[in-house]
Amino acid sequence: MIVIDDFIKDQNLLDEIQNDTTYFDNNGDYMWWDGWWNSPADTLKKRVIEYIWGENSPYDSVAIAGFEYWTGQYDNTKPEGLKFHLDKDEALYMETKEIVSPIIGTVYYPWENDIDGGYLEIFESNPFESDVTPERIAAKQNRLVIFPAGQKFHRVTPVTRGLRSAMAINLWGVEPSGVRNGDLILENK
């Protein structure tokens, strides 16, 4: 796992993120982008992805088919938080029970999170089979977290005060089936 604080250094990009009142409008919608090498970074979220995974990449380069991404906001109206899970091709799993996972996962906190709770917890082993203490990461503005989201169980603890805002980005080596069946949205300008 890699945690980098103050990741985005481009003040203009940070200002644009802070001033975009629509950044979380598609809250919970899973989107797909085939990358800047195939199509332009024509939305703010795509520009954030290109900033993270382009020339500023904190991770060794890998061959990828594209990016699955989504935004999420949680407050105390979701008392269970986000339950234990592994990221995977959900449509394929529902159809065949085969587990195909992203190469790597990313969580980026674009906005200030004045909250209680809302921790990202990442488990080294299966929390259903053992009593394991997770690594616990606070939602801090401009923090980037990179981890194997398809291999490590993770969750978000309940938010008891405030609003937790995050963007998740998965890098895929093969296009997930949700692109073909329409489960993943192609974000427009």
Q: What is the pLDDT of residues 136-184, one digit of tens each?
A: 999 999 999 999 999 999 999 999 999 999 999 999 999 999 888 888 8
The structure tokens 């169980």 sit at 153
| Residue 177 resides in a domain | yes
For strand 135-137 and strand 31-33, is the pairing parallel, antiparallel, or unpaired?
unpaired
- Find all residues with CB under 8 Å of 184, minimum gap 6, and list them: 30, 31, 32, 68, 176, 178
Q: Is residue 113 part of a domain?
A: yes
Tally of domains within the chain: 1
CATH number at residue 46: 2.60.120.10
pLDDT in tens, 69-123: 999 998 988 777 778 889 998 888 888 999 899 999 999 999 999 999 999 999 9
Whether residue 6 is contained in a domain is answered as yes
In this predicted model, what pLDDT tens digit does every residue of 61-70 receive, in sequence order?
Answer: 678 899 999 9
